[in-house]
Structure 1
């Protein structure tokens, strides 16, 4: 199950929630295929104004940060380099497409690998 958590300043996020969720879901589907639409989970964390700082000062606009939870096994695939490149590119494009192309070069995407047997749903470990 792909999980994406997007942290962005609330004023940048406000009014863009539905478009951002749709764009990120489409990005996941573009990489994994249509089956992923039903299992993609998107969390949008809006940071209140004054609570995001760069260079020691609060900012009015900040580059979004995306944490993408992915199974560790994805990095062992023969095509892992292509997969990682496509994931980061499509997610970056999705966010920039909604929040503004001027942010594209500053958007951070962090792929967080989850080892097999380290995910549970409803209190039950999920097999890989």
Structure 2
């Protein structure tokens, strides 16, 4: 199950929640296919101004940061480099489309693989 957690300044997020969720879901579907739509989970975390620091001081306007959790097995496919590149580009495009092109250069996307047996849903270990 793809999980996207997006940290963005609250002032940048307010009023853009639905379009951002939709755009990020479409970015994942564009890579994996329509079957993935119903399992994409997006969490938007609005950070108040002054609570995001870079270089030891509050950041004036940090670009959104995305942690993209997927099964570790996705990194062992022969097409992994292409899949990773498409996911990073698609997620960045989605954020820039909703939040504005000015954020594109700073958008960070980190793909994190969950090994089999190290996550769960509903109290049950997921395979």
Q: Deviations over 1:94-118 (max 9, x none)?
A: 0011001111111000001100111
Equivalent pairs counted in the alignment come to 127
Normalised to the residue count of structure 2, the TM-score between the two structures is 0.96
Query: Structure 1 regions of 5+ residues with no counterpart?
Result: none
1:55 deviates by 3.3
Q: 2 CA distance for matches of 1:53 and 1:126? A: 35
User: Is residue 2:71 matched to residue 1:45?
Assistant: no
Q: What SS does the aligned partner of 1:5 have?
A: strand
Deviation at 1:52, TM superposition (A): 1.2
| Structural RMSD (CA) | 1.0
The Cα offsets for residues 49-95 of structure 1, whole Å up to 9 and x where unpaired, read as 11112333323421110000011111110000000000100000000
Instruction: Give the match for residue 104 of structure 1.
Output: 104
Distance 2:71 2:54 in 1: 31
Distance (whole Å) between structure 2 residues aligned to residue 31 and residue 8 of structure 1:
24
Cα deviation code 1:18-48 (max 9, x no counterpart) = 0100000000100110111100000000001
Q: What TM-score comes out, normalization by structure 1 length?
A: 0.95
C-alpha distance in structure 1 between counterparts of 2:103 and 2:75, whole Å: 28
Q: Structure 2: which 5+ runs fail to align? A: none
SS of 1:67's partner is strand
The corresponding residue for 1:11 is 11
Distance 2:13 2:57 in 1: 20
Q: Which residue number corresponds to residue 76 of structure 2? A: 76
The answer to whether the 8 A contact 1:7-1:46 is kept is yes
Tell me which residue corresponds to 2:121. Answer: 121
- Map 1:26-65; keep pairs closer than 5 Å: 26-65=26-65
